[in-house]
């Protein structure tokens, strides 16, 4: 009887522990899904703001440089600045950003303690930390675009520049110094030093390389659009077919590279380490892995530009009969930005619920979320650009004044919105924790019926 009683108690304890573990796993799974969804939403929102503020800040500084080249610009008069001067101004701005931005990123890193707290200032610093990498990337992009314009901007020039930039940055990423710095930055804490932030600069050049690759891939469409100007239906249908081919190819390459990189990583760790690191196969595999990863990162931006060009062709060329976004006016651009923001925010939020298992699905999900956030930022950039033109024409102010007002207003609005966004996320997390606490049961409140062997066996 005692043995039977003991087995029943052990069975009861085992079942109780099983139920507790299952409840714990369900809670952790639900919390992980919520955290993942909120992380994607934060990344989506920060990229949208970063794109807009990076463009506004870049144009403000460039307008100041143009003012130095032509003082008549302060009166709102037309000015002609040579392409060479534009390039040197953009290059100087990129150099200043490279000198300042890594320091800001390092100071505002999570382990630095500067962004601790839940107030407006702490949340604003979090926004600055998230936007600063895009500011640096945008400055490098503008410098390369200005250089290509100065060189004549032919299709083959874009190919050569894109290939050179990709190869050079990939070689830099293969250097032991870069890998040492990258490992320290990824580790964080005491390993994350300011010097290492300056060494990992190739990570900020993928946007510029993506733009150069996009210009080359989009070269046929540029020639076709020049031949069919004024025919919106042909422009849109041609762009749509081109986008379908381009996007499918990029997703396929991204999915293939995901599997290929895993294979290279496994092969990379095989064999005798001392002999393997000096072998030719090791260096070839290392070069393939590094260059492939950099090129695939660039293709993500090519996908985003392809999506943006297709949406522009549909909205501005086909629906409103404009030759482009800049010729449609600020009202149409504002409508386009609002529609794109609402639609892509809803779609991106829905995609965060999906758990893709195959490489094709994972590649499509990651590329689409990045592309949608960039397209929203570019849409608002188009609206701000047309607004600046209209405001300057109505007020008679120069570009510097207009961009100064826009940049300050944009940073303030972004800070207020970001603070409200994070505040709501923290509020939602607090109420989830409170609801979870209310689900816990006090053992003293449980009434246990009289022992019945039959009921124990039924558990």
Q: What is the pLDDT of residues 298-309, one digit of tens each?
A: 888 999 999 999
Maximum alpha-carbon separation in the chain? 103
The residue with tokens 């610093």 is 125
| Residue 112, pLDDT score | 78
Q: What is the pLDDT of residues 390-431, one digit of tens each?
A: 888 888 787 788 888 889 998 999 899 989 988 988 888 888
| Residue 233, pLDDT score | 92
Outline where DSSP puts E strands in 17-175: none
Indicate the burial class of 132 (C-beta count within 10 angstroms; 0-12, 13-18, 19 or more).
Answer: buried
Residues 6+ apart with CB under 8 A from 417: 49
Of 418, 425, 428, 429, nearest in space to 120 by CA: 418
Kindly state the average pLDDT of the residues 7-20: 77
Q: What is the pLDDT of residues 89-107, one digit of tens each?
A: 899 999 999 999 999 999 9
Q: What is the pLDDT of residues 130-144, one digit of tens each?
A: 889 999 999 999 999
What is this structure's pTM? 0.83
Contact by Cβ (8 Å): 155, 220 = no
Kindly state the average pLDDT of the residues 196-224: 90
| Residue 80, pLDDT score | 63
| Residue 77, pLDDT score | 47
What is d(CA 316, CA 321) in angstroms, rounded to the nearest whole number?
6
């Amino acid at each position: 009887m005692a043995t039977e009683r003991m087995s029943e108690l052990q069975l009861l304890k085992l079942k109780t522990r099983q139920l507790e573990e299952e409840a714990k796993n369900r809670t952790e799974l639900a919390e992980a899904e919520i955290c993942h969804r909120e992380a994607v939403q934060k990344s989506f929102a920060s990229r949208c703001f970063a794109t807009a503020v990076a463009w506004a800040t870049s144009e403000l500084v460039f307008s100041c440089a143009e003012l130095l080249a032509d003082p008549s610009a302060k009166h709102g008069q037309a000015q002609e600045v040579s392409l060479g001067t534009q390039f040197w101004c953009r290059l100087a701005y990129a150099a200043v950003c490279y000198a300042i931005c890594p320091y800001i990123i390092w100071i505002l890193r999570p382990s630095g303690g500067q962004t601790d707290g839940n107030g407006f200032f702490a949340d604003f610093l979090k926004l600055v930390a998230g936007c600063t990498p895009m500011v640096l990337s945008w400055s490098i992009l503008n410098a390369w675009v200005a250089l290509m314009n100065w060189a004549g901007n032919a299709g083959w020039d874009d190919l050569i520049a894109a290939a050179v930039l990709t190869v050079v940055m990939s070689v830099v990423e293969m250097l032991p110094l870069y890998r040492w710095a990258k490992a320290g930055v990824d580790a964080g804490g005491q390993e994350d030093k300011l010097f290492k932030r300056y060494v990992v600069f190739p990570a900020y050049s993928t946007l510029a390389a993506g733009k150069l690759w996009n210009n080359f891939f989009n070269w046929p469409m540029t020639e076709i659009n020049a031949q069919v100007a004024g025919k919106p239906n042909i422009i849109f249908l041609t762009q749509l077919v081109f986008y379908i081919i381009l996007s499918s190819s990029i997703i396929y390459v991204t999915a293939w590279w995901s599997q290929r990189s895993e294979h290279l990583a496994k092969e990379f760790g095989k064999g005798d380490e001392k002999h393997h690191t000096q072998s030719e196969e090791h260096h070839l595999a290392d070069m393939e892995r590094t260059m492939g990863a950099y090129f695939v990162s660039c293709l993500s931006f090519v996908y985003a530009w392809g999506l943006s060009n297709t949406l522009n062709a549909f909205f501005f060329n086909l629906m409103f009969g404009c030759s482009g976004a800049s010729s449609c006016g600020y009202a149409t651009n504002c409508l386009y930005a609002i529609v794109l923001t609402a639609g892509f925010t809803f779609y991106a939020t829905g995609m965060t619920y999906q758990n893709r298992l195959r490489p094709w699905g994972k590649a499509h999900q990651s590329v689409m979320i990045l592309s949608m956030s960039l397209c929203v930022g570019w849409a608002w950039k188009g609206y701000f650009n047309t607004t600046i033109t209209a405001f300057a024409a109505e007020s008679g102010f120069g570009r510097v004044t207009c961009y100064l007002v826009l940049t300050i207003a944009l940073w303030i609005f972004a800070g207020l919105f970001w603070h409200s966004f994070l505040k709501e996320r923290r509020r939602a997390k607090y109420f989830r924790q409170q609801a979870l606490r209310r689900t816990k049961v006090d053992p003293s409140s449980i009434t246990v019926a009289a022992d019945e062997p039959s009921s124990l066996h039924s558990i």
